[in-house]
Structure 1
Amino acid sequence: MAAASAVLQSEWTKIRTVASTTWTLAAAFLVTVAMSAGICALMAGSMEDQSQAERATFDPTLVSFSGMVLGQLAMVAFGVLVVSTEYSSGMIRTSLAAVPQRATFLFSKIAVAGLLALVVGLATSFLAFWLGQALLGEHGTSLGEEHVLRAVVGAGLYMALMAVFSMGVAAMLRSSVLSLVILMLFFFLLSGVLTLVPYAKDVAKYFPDQAGSKIMQVLPDAMNSDPAPYGPWGGLGIMVLWVVAVLLGGYAVLKTRDA
């Protein structure tokens, strides 16, 4: 029986020695911070042109996470590659021969990659916030304001959960291309389109990205967003349930199918 510490060390070695996983994490960090800073700079220059209603729902904390739209794309790619690369290279057979306990193998990989995604996510959210508030100037806020720290930490948690969700999907589908196509269509097409469709948008509010992103808002109706039937932590809880569901699905596939 493989020792848990040895399996964790092995998974850490795999992740840090594969260039694609390193680059996707770097992209998540850089794209989110750069895009967020650009949008904050634009918002700072256009505040005088906003209506009274727009100013009333202006959420400087949420604006500083504007780049998350593209940053989460890189996090999705990271999660998929962490799991599916072994299938595409054929190394999964060697890995399972070394660690026949499939639960130990899968959840050790997810634990290491998830922790790494969390560290990068938190570093991204705090830097994006500080840089964004500096660019917003007098229109910005601070960590000491009510609910702001929760939103900043929540943004990091959101990025990490997006990566772990993608790992579960990749474990079920066992294909980089198929996993990426489905996740991109789900998060960047279906989820967005349904929010524009009457009645369907009430269902879309419970999608992992829609629910989880509420944790990043300080104002409940920030930036004229639709009200949700749950609070910030409730939304994150819904996202966690999605993550647990796909991880269990990935484990079921790994346990019942040959490598």
Structure 2
Amino acid sequence: MAATQVVRSEWTKIRSVASTVWTLSLAAVVTVALGVLISLLSKNEFDDMSTKDQLSFDPTFISFAGMSLGQLAMIVFGVLVVSNEYSTGMIRTSLAAVPQRGTFLFSKIAVATGLAFLVALATSFVAFFLGQAMLGSHRASIGDPGVLRAVIGGGLYMTLIALFSMGVATMLRSPMLSLGILMPFFFLISAILGNVDATKKVGQYLPDQAGSKIMQVVTPIDDDVPYGPWGGLGIMVLWVAVALAGGYVLLKKRDA
């Protein structure tokens, strides 16, 4: 089967599964709604902040506060895109139709990534503009230094979260096992490692902590992270590359 036919087939699969469409929609709604709420709260609390917190205040980053929950839906999207076929047994049919497993995996990931990026980028811009509207006099402008990079970076971050999840799901095959590892990894392990002094230096190299640096415009006063926005995104890309490579190797080696 030609690569273009495989891509078209994968697009049909993703579009026809309601759960994948709903998870992308949920990612957008949650990210924007929570970002607007936290931006409004931040505006009301600004005058009560310490001088240090006011100097470190990052209006752009505040508007992306909803991504901490929005990425949850992106993780589910990434897992479902890959593991739905395993849980239904359709993977045997798919691999019989497309014996070139590299082509099969690349086509699936390319279609899902393109869709995730379009939704994530639109979500990032909407979250930014609505968040800034809530911040009033404390808002940032899209033309300010570093802001456009941060907004586009928000879209890239969400997309990479989905891609990482696809790689992990390809390795593990089971949706429950994949989610059972990814959810605690991002919402418990990363948070704990990042907030405990003894493990902070390890936590800052985890994909979500490193990748989220791309959305920062104002560097916190006491920040000692040894990389900048693009360095952080680079670290996240490495994590994604390892996950996808692992998925590809295991898909090639084992039976459906």
Query: For residues 1-259 of structure 1, what are the structure 2 equivalents within 5 Å?
Result: 2-221=1-220, 226-259=223-256
TM-score w.r.t. structure 2 length? 0.98
Cα 1:239–1:225 change in 2 (3 A) is farther
> Letter of the aligned partner of 2:66 in structure 1?
G
Shift of 1:164: 0.4
Cα 1:225–1:29 change in 2 (3 A) is farther
**Comparing 44-53 and 172-181, the one that deviates more:** 44-53
User: In structure 1, what is the Cα distance between the partners aligned to 2:34 and 2:157?
Assistant: 17
User: In structure 2, what is the Cα distance between the partners aligned to 1:227 and 1:81?
Assistant: 37
User: In structure 1, what is the Cα distance between the partners aligned to 2:111 and 2:94?
Assistant: 16
Deviations 1:11-52 (A, max 9, x none): 000001000000000000000000000111111111111121
User: In structure 2, what is the Cα distance between the partners aligned to 1:26 and 1:133?
Assistant: 22
User: In structure 2, what is the Cα distance between the partners aligned to 1:212 and 1:54?
Assistant: 22
CA RMSD of aligned residues (A): 0.9
Calculate percent identity across the aligned residue pairs: 65
> Letter of the aligned partner of 2:58 in structure 1?
D
Unaligned runs of 5+ in 2: none
Deviations 1:204-224 (A, max 9, x none): 111000100000000122xx6
User: In structure 1, what is the Cα distance between the partners aligned to 2:150 and 2:42?
Assistant: 19
User: In structure 2, what is the Cα distance between the partners aligned to 1:194 and 1:147?
Assistant: 28
Deviations 1:142-190 (A, max 9, x none): 1100000000000000000000000000000000000001001110000
Q: Spell out structure 1 runs of 4+ moving beyond 3 A.
A: none
Do the aligned residues in 2 keep the contact of 1:36 with 1:63 (CA within 8 Å)? Answer: yes
> Letter of the aligned partner of 1:233 in structure 2?
W
TM-score w.r.t. structure 1 length? 0.97
Unaligned runs of 5+ in 1: none
Shift of 1:226: 3.8
> Letter of the aligned partner of 1:175 in structure 2?
S
How many residues align? The count is 256
SS at match of 1:195: helix
Shift of 1:225: 6.8
SS at match of 2:226: coil
User: In structure 1, what is the Cα distance between the partners aligned to 2:128 and 2:24?
Assistant: 18
Shift of 1:53: 1.1
Shift of 1:198: 2.5
Deviations 1:88-138 (A, max 9, x none): 000000000000000000011000000110001100000000000011011
Shift of 1:197: 2.1
User: In structure 2, what is the Cα distance between the partners aligned to 1:16 and 1:28?
Assistant: 16
User: In structure 1, what is the Cα distance between the partners aligned to 2:69 and 2:197?
Assistant: 26
Do the aligned residues in 2 keep the contact of 1:172 with 1:249 (CA within 8 Å)? Answer: yes
> Letter of the aligned partner of 1:73 in structure 2?
L
